[in-house]
C-alpha cells in the first residue's frame, strides 16, 4: 500500500489523519510496522508522546508486549529521567520517562511516526538506556532523514516504511 496517498499538507508536518481514518490503510500500516520486527526478541515498545502513541500502542498490542510512554516534560509524576533536545522546528523541548518503566536488560523497540532530524529518537534512546534497557529496533512510518543520520541509526536496527522524496506533496 502506498501510505503517502493518505497524507495531506498539515501545519508544520504532514497531516496523517486521513491515514488514521481509513481502516484498511491504518490496519495495513500497523501490520507492516509489526512485520519489520516480528522476528526479533522484544520485551516492550516505547513511543514518544503525540503521534508516536498512535502507532506504538497498536504495535505493542500486536507484538503482545508492554508499552512504555515517553512523555513531554512535566506530564509524569513520581521519579523520572529527563532528556533535553532540539526538535525538527529548532525548539528546545524535554522528554521524560518513569525510572522504573523499563527493567535492566529489557529489549526495547522504539516506534515513531516520522523521523527527520533524529533528535527525538536520540533523546528517547538515552532515556531507555538510563532505565537499563537496550534498544533493539527503531521503527518509523516515514523517513525524512539525511544519509548520515540514517546510517547512525542503523546500529539500532532502524527501519521505516516510506521515504520522503523531493516531489512529495505534503
Angle of helix 51-63 versus helix 23-37 axis, rounded to 10: 60
Give yes or no for residue 169 having a pLDDT over 90: no
Asked if residue 102 is part of any domain, the answer here is: yes
Q: Pull the grid cell for residue 103.
A: 527493567
Residue 89 is predicted with a pLDDT of 85
Does residue 3 lie within any of the structural domains?
no
In a domain, 1, yes or no: no
Instruction: Give the model's pLDDT for residue 10.
Output: 84
* C-alpha 128, offset from chain centre: 13
Residue 156 lies in a domain: yes
Helices within the chain (DSSP H only)? 17-21, 23-37, 51-63, 119-130, 147-153
For residue 15, give the DSSP letter. B
67 in any annotated domain: yes
Judged on CB neighbours under 10 Å (0-12, 13-18, 19+), 70 is: buried
- The pLDDT of residue 145 is 94
In a domain, 169, yes or no: no
**CA 61, chain centre distance (Å):** 15
**pLDDT value at 45 more than 90:** yes
SS3 107: strand
Is 4 within a domain? no
**pTM of the predicted model as reported, rounded to 2 decimal places:** 0.96
Q: Indicate which CATH number applies to the domain containing 68.
A: 3.40.50.2020
Cβ 44 vs Cβ 69: under 8 Å: no
Please say if the pLDDT value at position 144 is more than 90. Answer: yes
Statement: residue 12 has pLDDT above 80: no
Q: Compute the average pLDDT of residues 25-35.
A: 98
25 assigned to some structural domain: yes
Total of domains in the chain: 1
Question: Residue 91 belongs to what domain range?
Answer: 13-163
Nearest to 30, CA basis, from 57, 2, 69, 70 = 57
Would the pLDDT of 41 be above 80? yes
Mean model confidence pLDDT for the chain: 95
Q: Alpha-carbon distance 168 to 116, whole Å?
A: 15
Q: Read off the pLDDT band of 136 (50, 70, 90).
A: very high
pLDDT tens-place string over residues 62-120: 999 999 999 999 999 889 999 999 988 899 999 999 999 999 999 999 999 999 999 99
Helices (H), 38-159: 51-63, 119-130, 147-153
Amino acid at each position: 500500500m502506498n501510505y503517502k496517498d493518505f497524507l495531506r499538507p498539515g501545519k508544520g508536518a504532514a497531516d496523517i489523519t486521513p491515514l488514521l481514518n481509513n481502516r484498511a490503510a491504518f490496519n495495513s500500516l500497523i501490520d507492516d510496522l509489526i512485520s519489520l520486527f516480528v522476528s526479533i526478541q522484544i520485551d516492550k515498545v516505547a513511543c514518544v508522546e503525540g503521534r508516536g502513541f498512535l502507532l506504538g500502542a497498536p504495535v505493542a498490542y500486536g507484538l503482545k508486549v508492554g508499552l512504555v510512554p515517553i512523555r513531554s516534560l512535566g506530564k509524569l509524576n513520581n521519579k523520572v529521567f529527563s532528556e533535553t533536545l532540539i526538535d525538527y522546528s529548532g525548539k528546545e523541548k524535554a522528554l521524560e520517562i518513569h525510572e522504573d518503566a523499563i527493567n535492566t536488560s529489557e529489549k526495547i523497540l522504539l516506534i515513531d511516526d516520522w523521523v527527520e532530524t533524529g533528535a527525538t529518537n536520540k533523546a528517547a534512546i538515552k532515556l531507555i538506556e538510563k532505565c537499563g534497557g537496550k534498544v533493539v529496533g527503531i521503527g518509523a512510518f516515514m523517513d525524512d532523514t539525511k544519509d548520515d543520520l540514517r546510517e547512525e541509526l542503523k546500529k539500532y536496527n532502524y527501519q521505516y516504511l516510506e521515504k520522503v522524496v523531493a516531489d512529495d506533496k505534503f
